[in-house]
Amino acid sequence: MTALLVGVAGPPTAAALGFSMSFIAAVSLLLSWLSARRAGVKVAAKRVRLFKEESRTVPVQVMSASSSLMSITSVSFHSATGISGTVVHVADGSTELVITPKLAGRSDKLVAVFEEVDILGLFAHRKEVNLGLVVESLPLALKSPADPLRVSPIAVGENPAGAVGTGQELFAVTEYQTGLDTRDIMWKRAARMSDDRIPMRVREANVKKVVTVGLAVTWRSDSERAARVDLIAEALAQVGKDLLLIGTTLEVEYAVGTRVSSILVSSLTQMADALVGPWGALEAGAGPSAFSRRVDLLIMGPDDPDEVLRQAELRPGRVLVVSDLPSGAQVPGGAVAFTGNEDLTELAAEVLAR
């Protein structure tokens, strides 16, 4: 009896298997291509505000003919410097975008490049999507505690500073000592006293009601703008908090072409709005010629040392140079350098005294 043996021919089977895999891959490619062409990504939020180096989750809606055929694996932002993003797939099947800004400032033209992979993981497609999302990244200095300013006794202004000075308002009453100004002796009260003590008036220091800051910083590229806007925001947060603490209003001036616009800040909420204001999204900054000499504090870039020197001579101690250079800012005498690590409390006090 002859046994019937059923075998598998090697080459024909391999060819059939290869053909089948090629066919499946071609179908997968076609389906993913059709899906990718009609696919879109939509974020639920229109604006996200957070501190830099923090992360915020934004729900993402994937729109396609068959969302099960495509899966978003990664995202990158080529239109914004200093913002990174990752894609997270939640257990319920939804997709979330995690945004982490590395620099302070405002980004309102976010174009994301999403990478989508087909269900078999064979083909990937890249798709640019305008998110329509505004990311407002606040500087870290805004959430750090402010130190009380040491107000100069000779400061002149309209607001009482809560410190000893040369203003007209009474701050305290003390006993006269030899060498003090006799004009502050309270003679009527002294006449009613039963001992030989002589009371005298201690005056209160007055500070400016409004301090004006001019943003005279230019940039030549998106990356340079992002780095310098970050430094400006950190500097404004430091100085602004100190001024708000003693009741002084901050006026931030910035130039749009030949026109100068301003933002008034009298609270921390308004300060947060100002720090991510439209000035940080301008295509180019403005030089110091756009601002008048009445500006109390001028913030400049490091590109023109001669102009920094000239402005420092006009405003001694009231010119701040923000530098994104790795070695730090080399600034002329009379100007103050800021690379993001310096304490600007003394600068705020100097601005109030002038």
**3-class SS of residue 142:** helix
Residue-level pLDDT at 190? 67
- Retrieve residue 26's tokens: 């071609």
pLDDT of residue 333 exceeding 80, the answer is no
Q: Provide the pLDDT confidence category of residue 24 given band limits of 50, 70 and 90.
A: low
Residue-level pLDDT at 82? 84
Most confident of 66-70, 154-158, 179-183, 319-323: 319-323
Q: Provide the pLDDT confidence category of residue 234 given band limits of 50, 70 and 90.
A: very high
Residue 74's alpha-carbon distances to 15, 29, 42, 79, in angstroms, are: 36, 19, 15, 16
Chain segment 245-255, per-residue pLDDT in tens: 878 889 999 88
- Retrieve residue 279's tokens: 């000035």
Alpha-carbon Rg of the chain, whole angstroms?
32
Residue-level pLDDT at 59? 85
Most confident of 34-43, 104-113, 212-221, 231-240: 231-240
Residue-level pLDDT at 279? 87
Q: Tell me the mean pLDDT in the region 260-265.
A: 90
Chain segment 171-218, per-residue pLDDT in tens: 556 666 676 666 666 667 766 777 777 776 666 666 678 889 999 888
Residues 6+ apart with CB under 8 A from 218: 284, 285, 286, 287, 301, 303
Q: What torsion, rounded to 10 degrees, do the Cα atoms 339, 256, 288, 221 define?
A: 40
Residue-level pLDDT at 5? 46
How far is Cα 99 from Cα 47, in angstroms, rounded to an integer?
12
Chain segment 83-132, per-residue pLDDT in tens: 888 878 777 767 788 889 999 999 887 887 777 665 555 556 677 778 88
Cβ atoms of residues 265 and 240 within 8 Å: yes
Residue-level pLDDT at 67? 46
**What count of other Cβ atoms lies within 10 Å of the Cβ of residue 150?**
11
How far is Cα 219 from Cα 226, in angstroms, rounded to an integer?
9
Residue-level pLDDT at 215? 92
46-60, 169-183, 326-340: least confidently modelled range: 169-183
How far is Cα 100 from Cα 81, in angstroms, rounded to an integer?
11
| Domains present along the chain, CATH in parentheses | 37-138 (2.60.40.4140), 159-207 (no CATH), 208-353 (3.40.50)
User: Strands across the sheet with 70-77, in order?
Assistant: 70-77, 111-118, 124-130
Note the Cα 274 to chain centre separation in Å. Answer: 10
Residues 6+ apart with CB under 8 A from 205: 151, 152, 153, 154, 155, 160, 161, 163, 164, 165, 166, 167, 171
Residue-level pLDDT at 108? 80
pLDDT of residue 157 exceeding 70, the answer is no
Q: Which residue has the tokens 């409390």?
A: 345
Residue-level pLDDT at 53? 93
Task: Determine phi and psi for 36, rounding to 5 degrees.
Answer: -65, -35
Per 3-state DSSP, the chain is made up of helix, strand and coil in percentages (nearest 5) of 30, 35, 40
Mean pLDDT estimate for the chain:
75
pLDDT of residue 233 exceeding 90, the answer is yes
Cβ atoms of residues 61 and 153 within 8 Å: no
**Cross-strand partners of 264:** 251
Q: Provide the pLDDT confidence category of residue 239 given band limits of 50, 70 and 90.
A: very high
pLDDT of residue 220 exceeding 50, the answer is yes
How far is Cα 225 from Cα 254, in angstroms, rounded to an integer?
14
How far is Cα 258 from Cα 263, in angstroms, rounded to an integer?
17
- Exposure string of 296-317, with b = 16+ CB inside 10 Å and e = fewer, is bbbbbbbeeeebbeebbeebeb
Find the length of the chain. Answer: 354
